[in-house]
Structures are given as structure tokens and as C-alpha cells.
Structure 1
Amino acid sequence: MPFTASDIIKLICAFILPPLGVFLETGCGADLLINVLLTCLGWVPGIIHACYVIFRN
């Protein structure tokens, strides 16, 4: 499946503020809560999880 412009925007948001990228992909839910907790523990785990959530779909 090819990337769309919205996927690229989500990835850019995921690198700047990981919970924002997850929110744009899934909305409010368990993935967002997990990402907020991972981002509080460290910026890199938040980015890794955000990229996983975006690439998962």
C-alpha cells in the first residue's frame, strides 16, 4: 500500500510530538495512552511506538 500525503504528515508529527502522530492515526484510545506514557519515559520509545502504530495500518 503506497503512502499518502496524510501518512507523511503523521510521520512528521510523530517525530516532533509522538502522541500527536498517534492521535491523528487512531484518535483517543489505548494506543494514545500507551504512547503518552512511553513519551514520558523517553522521547525515543514514544517515536518508535508512534511509527509502529502508523505503519501497522
Structure 2
Amino acid sequence: MDDDLIGRIQVVKNDYPVVAAVLDMLRQRIEKLELENYQLQRRIEVTETPTARRRLDEEW
């Protein structure tokens, strides 16, 4: 991040604590969603192998 943006974020945190809290909650939620997305992508990669596909077809 550039220094100007960091400075503006700090002003928001100092002057608007409620906004800062909401931004922090959103950041945490985004991080959680990014982790879930990564985990789902890994599951998809694992199930896309030919052996896994056959197993899934047999289960259905």
C-alpha cells in the first residue's frame, strides 16, 4: 500500500471508530472467504483426477 492510502486509513480509524470496526469485520470476513475458496478449489482439483471421477460416478 502506498503511504497516502495508509495515512487515510489511519485517519478513518482514529476519527471514525465504528467505521474502523466495520472495516475490520469486513477484512476478517474476506480473509475467511478467501480461505474457504482456496479449500474448495483444492477439493475440486482432487476430484478432477480420473480415479476420483470414477469413484464419484460409482457413488451416484
Please tell me whether Structure 1 or Structure 2 has the larger radius of gyration of its CA atoms: 2
TM-score by length of 1: 0.36
Q: Looking at both structures, which has the greater relative contact order when contacts are Cα pairs under 8 Å and sequence separation is at least 6?
A: 1
- 1 or 2, which has the higher helix percentage? 2
TM-score by length of 2: 0.34
